[in-house]
Each structure stands twice: as structure tokens, then as C-alpha cells.
Amino acid sequence: MSQRRNAGEQRDASPLRSARTSWRPHRGWSIAFGLYALALAAATHWPDVRIPGPDELHPDKLVHLAAFGLWTALLLRSGLLGPWRSWGARWRTLGALLFYAVVDEVTQAIPGLHRQVSHWDVAANVIGGVAALTAMWLLAENSQREG
């Protein structure tokens, strides 16, 4: 009986176990994500916004790629959906990205905003977010190898 208790105590004392039970979102990254999410929502819903540039190049799609890439990276790094290096947090972040990319674009159809709703914008949002998730995954893999 005491051997079982000792084995259980050793399991609880393992670094992996304690890291799982003591996980909390990172305050600084969470604040950065919250502020950025508010700014992004305001920017994507501001009435009558036009991004200058030749229409055939679609410069607004590059803005969507970068904006949602940063949104995704900040959400993952904040730890709000789990430890940023975990696969669970990555999948939850992908789900949040897919949901928000659609909601953000659909809500631009609100009368009075005079915004264009485009499936290409949703695609650019998702591609930017997936690129950020991939970069964060590579960063996590490299930091685990080095650390």
C-alpha cells in the first residue's frame, strides 16, 4: 500500500504533471490579444473603408492575411485556449480562427457599414491564420529541441 502511495506521489511530482495542473493564461499576451482583437474588430467594421491600390492586385487580401495571422498568433500565445505549445490549444485556436473569420466577414453586411462581404476575404483570413499557426508550431518545435 505504501509503495502505491509513493508511486502516486512520484507521479504527481513529475514536471509534466505539474505543468498541466498549474497552467494559466499569460497575462501580458492575453492583454495584447484582447486589445488587438478589439482594434481588428473596429477596423474591419469601420464604415466605408477602402484600401488604396490597383484592384487587380487586391492589396486588401494581403492586409487580411497579416491581420488574421497576427490575431491567430496572439490568441495562441496568450494561452487562453491552453498551453501554446500543446496540440489541443492549436486545434482550438484553429477552430476559433475559422469561426471568427466567418463571423467577422458576415457581420460586415450590417446595413449602414457600407462594407463589402467577400468569400475571398474569409479565405485570406483563414490562410493568414493557418500560416501563423504553422509558424508558431515550428517555433514551438525549435524551442523544445533547444530547451
82 vs 8: which has the higher pLDDT: 82
In a domain, 118, yes or no: yes
In a domain, 12, yes or no: no
DSSP symbol at 56: G
The arithmetic mean of pLDDT across residues 122-136, rounded, is 98
Please state, in angstroms and rounded to a whole number, the distance separating the CA atoms of residues 69 and 89. Answer: 16
In a domain, 3, yes or no: no
Half-sphere CA count of 32, side-chain side, radius 13 A = 15
Please report which residue ranges of 107-118 form alpha helices under DSSP H: none
DSSP symbol at 71: H
Please state, in angstroms and rounded to a whole number, the distance separating the CA atoms of residues 117 and 45. Answer: 11
In a domain, 139, yes or no: yes
In a domain, 35, yes or no: yes
In a domain, 20, yes or no: no
For the chain, the 3-state helix, strand and coil shares in percent, each to the nearest 5, are 75, 0, 25
Residue 139 pLDDT > 60:
yes
Tell me, what's the pLDDT at 66? 98
Q: Which residue has the cell 488574421?
A: 68
**The total number of structural domains that make up the chain:** 1
Most confident of 17-26, 74-83, 137-146: 74-83
Say if CB 89 and CB 96 are below 8 A apart: no
In a domain, 32, yes or no: yes
> pLDDT (tens digit, 9 = 90+) per residue, 89-116?
999 999 999 999 999 999 999 988 888 8
In a domain, 116, yes or no: yes
Least confident of 65-69, 81-85, 136-140, 141-145: 141-145
> pLDDT (tens digit, 9 = 90+) per residue, 14-69?
344 444 556 799 999 999 999 999 999 999 998 877 777 666 667 889 999 999 99
* pTM passes above 0.85: no
Tell me, what's the pLDDT at 127? 98
> H/E element holding 133?
helix 119-146
